[in-house]
Every structure is written in structure tokens, then in C-alpha cells.
Amino acid sequence: MRNSEMTRSQKRLAHLTSVVREAGVKLTHQRLEICRELATTEEHPDAETLFRAVQERVPTMSLDTVYRTLWMLRDLGLLTTLGPNRDAVRFDVNLDRHHHYVCVACGSVRDFESEELNALRLPNAVKKFGTIVDAQVEVRGLCAHCKREKETTAAPLGGGRRRRRT
């Protein structure tokens, strides 16, 4: 089968599995099935939803494995999470129009303002989804502090997500 004949989800699955393998991570039955599920979804599922879907094919699947696999895939750059990756809901009292810089490592968020970004025009397709109350840019990156930290201590893969409270 030539690449051009593969469906979108087939391509995705091939990409997922090849990157996992190349990273030297064992491609277990469980992980393969999770990848399969991820490859076909056009949604933004949570772990529980994936768990339930995969469980139909692998009845012994555990929720913990789903979580561990998802964080591992994230660490390999194969998926992202929506919003700042956090333990708790965070509140924003800044009522002025502004945008966010989110550190993908520690979850800290910095505000910034930009007339140019405020003026951005949205495609018409968006209006079909529903009403629009706000549009803001979310920039993701590694903040200066975490970058320094990462250069000194290399964390292992799939190390979970929680930043323990101190």
C-alpha cells in the first residue's frame, strides 16, 4: 500500500507506532490499542473515554495504563493536552483584552497584550460553531526558569503530570 492510499487514521497510526518504536519504548498490545483508538478519533477525549473505548477490545485494560501511555505519547510530542496542563482550575481576573504565554513544563501563565493580535480576523467557519465571546492567543513554550532547570536535570519519559505542592 502506497502512502497516498492510506487513510488519515492509518497515517496517524503509522506515525504513532513508528515514533514510539524509534524512541526505544516497547510497543505492547495495550499501547498499540490505545494508539489505534487515538488514531481514529477526531475529538479531544479524556482518559476515561479512551479507556472505555479500548476496554471493549482489551477487557483487562487498566485506566492507569491509559494515563501512563498518554503522558508517554505527550513526552514524545505525539499529542498535547488542552489548556495549561494543571492540577487545579485557575482563575483569571484580568478583564482587559490579553493573551497568554503558558509554560508546558510548570504550567505557569504570563499575560501579554498586543493590538495586532486583538485585531485578528476569524474564519467564517468558526461562526457556525456558535456565538463568539472572546478570542485569545495561547502561546506555548518552555519558560526561562524551566529551560534552565531542564538543562541541568534530565527527567525520564512518561514521568506523569503532577507538580507536587511544596
Partner DNA sequence: TTCCTATTCAAGAATAATTCCAAGATAAGA
Partner DNA sequence: TCTTATCTTGGAATTATTCTTGAATAGGAA
Choice from 39, 53, 65, 78 touching DNA (CB under 7 A): 65
> Closest by alpha carbon to 88, among 13, 161, 152?
161
* Beta-carbon contacts of residue 87 (< 8 Å; ≥ 6 apart): 162, 163
**Which listed range, 23-31, 57-65, 103-111, 152-160, lies at the site for a copy of itself (CB under 8 A)?**
103-111
The contact pattern for a copy of itself, residues 132-161, with x = CB under 8 A and - = no contact, is xxxxxxxxxxxxxxxx-------------x
CB of 2 to DNA, least distance (A): 25
Binding of residue 117 to a copy of itself (CB under 8 A) = yes
* 6 near a copy of itself, rule: CB under 8 A: no
Sign of CA dihedral 110, 111, 115, 118: positive
57 contacts 33 by C-beta, under 8 angstroms: yes
Selected binder of a copy of itself within 17, 36, 109, 149 (CB under 8 A): 109
CA angle (28, 31, 37) in 5-degree steps = 140
